[in-house]
Amino acid sequence: MDFSLSEEQRMLKDTVERLVRETYDFEKRQKIAASEEGFSRDVWGQLAELGMLGVPFAEEFGGLGSGGVDLMILGEAMGRGLVVEPYLSTVVLGGGLIDLLGSAEQKESLLNAVVGGETLLAFAHGEPDSRYEPAHVRCKAEKTGGGWTLTGRKSVVLNGAAADQLIVSARISGGHDDEDGIGLFLVGKDAANLKVHGTPGIDGTHVAEIALDGVEVGADAVLGTPGACFAAIEEVMARAIVMLAGEAVGAMEVAVETTVEYLKTRKQFGKALSQFQVLQHRAVDMRISLEQAKSLAVLAAARLGEPRAVREMAISAAKAGIGQHARIVGELAIQLHGGIGMTWEVPVAHYAKRLVMIDHLFGDTDHHLERFAALSDAAA
C-alpha cells in the first residue's frame, strides 16, 4: 500500500508545520495555555487566514473537502507544538456535526463562521458517569410548545467556556444507554439557566463542566432528526480520534528527538549518556513505539471513509495501540531526563502530560481494547 502524501497534502503539512515552528515556541505556548481563555485569538485568526479551519468542509463553505489523512497531518503538526487552540472542539466535533446533520440555513450561517474564525463551537456530550460510552446520555430534552427544554449535566467539555455555541446531546426517549433516542441541540453561550465552569486540564488545554437547569431552545436549534443522531456522533468521534492519533505521533516525535539529544549532550562519569548501552536500548524502545504509533495512525486515517464496522475496528485498534505506545514514550522520556524531566520548565514533561490526556479522550486504552474485541466478535 502506498502511504506517500499527495502534493496537496505535503503543502498542507508544510504550511501548518511552518506556522507552528515560527509562531508557537514553547515559551509562547506556556503563556497562551496560562491565559484566561486558554488559547490565542491571534493564532486562531492565522489558522483561519491560511484556510486551515475549513479543511474538512466542502468548498461551498470555504473549505477544502479533505479526509482523514489531512486531519492526521494537521494533528501531527499541532502535536509537535502542543498547540492548544480549539481545533478539535470547533472544527472536527462541532463543525463536523453541523456538516453531517445541519439544515441548509444552519450550515450556511455556522460553517462559514467557523471557517472564517468568527465562531467557536463545543460539543457538550460527556457526562459525569458516562465512562467513555458515547451512547450514555442522561441529560433530558422535553418538547415544550414550539421548542425544547434541556436539563442535565455535561462534563469535561473541550473548550466549553470559550465557545459561542454549544452542541448539547440530550435524551428524547429510551434508556440512558440506548443509541436511539439521542437528540442534538444548539445552545448559545448566553442562554438562560445555563452555567459553564471552565478549568485548565493537566496538559494546559481547557475543559468545562456544564449545568443545564431548564434551558429553553427553539425548534431552529435542533440538529438533524431528534432521536436519531447517534450515527453522526460516532462518526465525528472517529474523526476526532484520527486527529488525536496524529497529534500523539507529533508529540511522540518531539519527545523522542528531545530525549535522544539530551542523551548525547548530558554527561555522567566523564562520558555522554548516549554511550551507555542500557540507555541506548531505552532510546530504541522509544523509536520502535513511535514507528508503531505512526502505522496505527495511518491505518485509522485510511479507514475513516470505510463502512462503520471496518472504520470503528480500525479506530479502536489505533486508539488502544497508540495509547500503549504513547505511555512507553512519555514515561521513558521523563526517566531518561532524570529528575528534571518532571519539572515545569522542561518541555518533555508537557509532552508527556499531553500524551496522557490524549489517551483518556474518547476512551482510554482499556476501553478501546474491550471495544475492539467486541467489534471483532460481532464481525466474526
Q: Give dist(CA 349, CA 340) in Å, integer.
A: 9
The answer to whether 318 and 241 have CB atoms below 8 angstroms apart is yes
- What is residue 64's predicted lDDT score, i.e. its pLDDT? 85
**Percent of the chain having pLDDT more than 90?**
87
Q: Give dist(CA 54, CA 109) in Å, integer.
A: 14
CATH architecture of 7-119: Orthogonal Bundle (1.10)
Say whether pLDDT at 369 is over 90: yes
For CATH 2.40.110.10, the residue range(s) in the chain are 122-227
Question: 104-121: per-residue pLDDT in tens?
Answer: 999 999 999 999 999 999
Least Cα distance to 125 among 114, 115, 135 occurs for 135
- Residue 122, classified by CB atoms within 10 Å of its CB into exposed (0-12), middle (13-18) or buried (19+), is buried
User: Apex CA 137: angle with CA 135 and CA 142, to 5°?
Assistant: 130
Assign 2 a pLDDT band (cuts: 50, 70, 90): low
The answer to whether 237 and 70 have CB atoms below 8 angstroms apart is no
Question: 226-247: per-residue pLDDT in tens?
Answer: 989 999 999 999 999 999 999 9
For residues 214-251, one letter each, b for 16 or more C-beta atoms within 10 angstroms of the residue's C-beta and e for the rest, the string is ebebeeebbbbebbbbbebbbbbbbbbbbbbbbbbbbb
Fold of 122-227: Butyryl-CoA Dehydrogenase, subunit A; domain 2 (2.40.110)
Q: Give dist(CA 248, CA 260) in Å, integer.
A: 18
- What is residue 268's predicted lDDT score, i.e. its pLDDT? 85
Q: Which sign does the torsion angle of CA 276, 278, 279, 280 carry? A: positive
Tell the residue number behind the cell numbers 508537557, with chain if given: 350
For CATH 1.10.540.10, the residue range(s) in the chain are 7-119
Q: Is 170 left (phi over 0), alpha (psi -120 to 50) or beta?
A: beta
The answer to whether 72 and 250 have CB atoms below 8 angstroms apart is no
Dig out the grid coordinates for 290 from the structure: 513511535
- What is residue 132's predicted lDDT score, i.e. its pLDDT? 94
- What is residue 375's predicted lDDT score, i.e. its pLDDT? 95
Assign 191 a pLDDT band (cuts: 50, 70, 90): very high
Q: Which CATH superfamily is domain 231-379 in?
A: Butyryl-CoA Dehydrogenase, subunit A, domain 3 (1.20.140.10)
Alpha carbon distances (Å) from 343 to 260, 333, 359: 18, 13, 21
- What is residue 65's predicted lDDT score, i.e. its pLDDT? 85
For residues 133-155, one letter each, b for 16 or more C-beta atoms within 10 angstroms of the residue's C-beta and e for the rest, the string is ebbbbbbebeeeeebbbbbbbbb
Say whether pLDDT at 3 is over 90: no
- What is residue 144's predicted lDDT score, i.e. its pLDDT? 92
Assign 6 a pLDDT band (cuts: 50, 70, 90): confident
The answer to whether 194 and 187 have CB atoms below 8 angstroms apart is yes
Question: 9-53: per-residue pLDDT in tens?
Answer: 999 999 999 999 998 899 999 999 999 999 999 999 999 999 999
Q: What is the pTM of this model?
A: 0.96
Q: What is the mean pLDDT of the chain?
A: 95
Q: Give dist(CA 57, CA 293) in Å, integer.
A: 27
Question: 288-327: per-residue pLDDT in tens?
Answer: 999 999 999 999 999 999 999 999 999 999 999 999 999 9
CA 27 remoteness from chain centre: 23
For CATH 1.20.140.10, the residue range(s) in the chain are 231-379
Assign 1 a pLDDT band (cuts: 50, 70, 90): low
Pairing of the two strands 165-171 and 121-124: parallel
Question: 252-275: per-residue pLDDT in tens?
Answer: 999 999 999 999 998 888 888 888
